[in-house]
Structure 1
Amino acid sequence: MIRIAGVSKTYGKGANAVHALRDVSSLFPPGTFTAVMGPSGSGKSTFLHCAAGLDRPDAGSVQLGDVDLAKLNERKLTELRRARIGFVFQAFNLIGSLTVRDNILLPARLAGTKADQGWFKQVVAEVGLTDRLHHRPGELSGGQQQRVAIARALVTRPDVVFGDEPTGALDTTTGGEVLSLLRRVVDQHQQTVIMVTHDPVAASYADRVVFLADGRLVGHLDHPTAAAVADRMTHLAEQGAVRC
């Protein structure tokens, strides 16, 4: 599981300081799908970066299982991310000169390990890429490229997969297919997925939505529907306008 306790993060100093996160605590049990939402500037990206070990909080702790990420040096943190954390980004972040197969296997290669070939074949089949392994990213549609990114995130059997607007660059139909794939990964393989999104429809695929505003955790919604998420986001936006 991922446990975030009392996490704060500030960028800059003095009058120019930006308090991106303020004493945020949350728990993400294994085998769950969580969406993270909030208005622009609410701290969503910083939350994801701290939870995934891409950035270090100024205060508080982030634990992956029984490991406190703050106690790891950069080398150990890099090794942990390669072995236990998967990433899916809006821009896919594939290497254009590599085939689909080599892009998927890249995390194992960087970690100096060999991927389980049985698991590799299963993942490739489940994301629908069996007949695309020798293609390069430029020969694929946007949805297919995101499927490659999801397979790459899963190939090392990580403890958690983080998604940063994974459907933001996709059309509605293709985005729905990618979200359905992430939902199946959670339901069939008990994978833990934490996804930052601005889209209420995307959030409705999750088990739970947590909401951020002004760097603080301001609520959550279990078993979300797109309408309920949109309503909550509207209220957050209105509250922000009143504060301004």
Structure 2
Amino acid sequence: MGPSGSGKSTLLHCAAGLDRPTSGQVLLSGTSLPGMSENRLTRLRRERVGFVFQAYNLLSALTVQDNIAMPLRLSGTALDPAWAEEVVRRVGMADRLHHRPAELSGGQQQRVAIARALITRPDLVMADEPTGALDTRSGEQVLSLLRDTVAALGQAVLMVTHDPVAATYAQRVLFLADGRLVDALEKPSPAAVAERMSRLGE
């Protein structure tokens, strides 16, 4: 969390190998990213990082099933039917596999995007304002789903959000200001997050 211009997107881009840091290290499960070639970084992102965005970025011509399987198709990896069934069940989209995105609500589309992010069993899921385009109820469902993937699957999730309530779904909140890490809260409450955010400009 942090105000606009604090470095949240830059941090996310560096963590995903989309941007190269001018100094320091970026390690993903012990793998150093900055020295990698673009081809290796692309392969690493495809196989070891899942992405969930505010805009769902689903392919409108494809069914839910095909959207979820797209990362595997791009990497030439075979689909594990048991894992696919587990992922689809967890996101609650088993009865929508043959629908297209236009036939789904915003919350359902974001569930598909989460399933797509999980299908490769990534080391890390990066969620950039994943509830920004959703109403309160749908947003809570998506946050609960992300929280459940951490608890049930041991999945690591790094989320950027402006919403103090969304931040409380996290185990730990990191605060950025002017490109620097300035504070952290463990198991935060909405009030504690809001109060700390109000002082970031000090």
Q: Please tell me the TM-score bracket, short chain as reference.
A: over 0.9
CA-to-partner distance for each residue in 1:144-187, whole Å, 9 max, x for gaps?
A: 00000000000010011000000000011100000000000000
Q: Taking structure 2 as the reference length, what is the TM-score of the superposition?
A: 0.99
Are 2:111 and 1:111 equivalent residues in the alignment? no
Q: Taking structure 1 as the reference length, what is the TM-score of the superposition?
A: 0.82
Q: Which residue of 2 aligns with 1:52?
A: 16
Amino acid at match of 2:192: A
Aligned residues: 202
Offset at residue 55 of structure 1 (A): 1.1
Q: What is the DSSP-based 3-state SS (H/G/I as helix, E as strand, rest coil) of the residue aligned with 2:200?
A: helix
Amino acid at match of 1:134: H
Q: Which residue of 1 aligns with 2:66?
A: 102
Q: Which residue of 1 aligns with 2:128?
A: 164
Are 2:92 and 1:92 equivalent residues in the alignment? no
| Larger CA Rg, structure 1 vs 2 | 1
C-alpha separation in 2, matches of 1:170 and 1:228: 24
**Runs of at least 4 residues off by over 3 Å:** none
Q: What is the DSSP-based 3-state SS (H/G/I as helix, E as strand, rest coil) of the residue aligned with 2:27?
A: strand
Offset at residue 40 of structure 1 (A): 1.0
Amino acid at match of 1:127: V
The answer for unaligned runs of 5 or more in structure 1 is: 1-36, 240-244
Q: Which residue of 2 aligns with 1:40?
A: 4
Alignment of 1:3-18 (within 5 A): none
Alignment of 1:108-147 (within 5 A): 108-147=72-111
Higher strand share: 1
Of residues 100, 119, 125, the one that matches 1:155 is 119
CA-to-partner distance for each residue in 1:162-213, whole Å, 9 max, x for gaps?
A: 0000000001110000000000000001000000000000000000000000
Of residues 147, 166, 189, the one that matches 1:225 is 189
The CA RMSD over aligned residues, in Å, is: 0.7
Q: Which residue of 1 aligns with 2:147?
A: 183
The answer for unaligned runs of 5 or more in structure 2 is: none
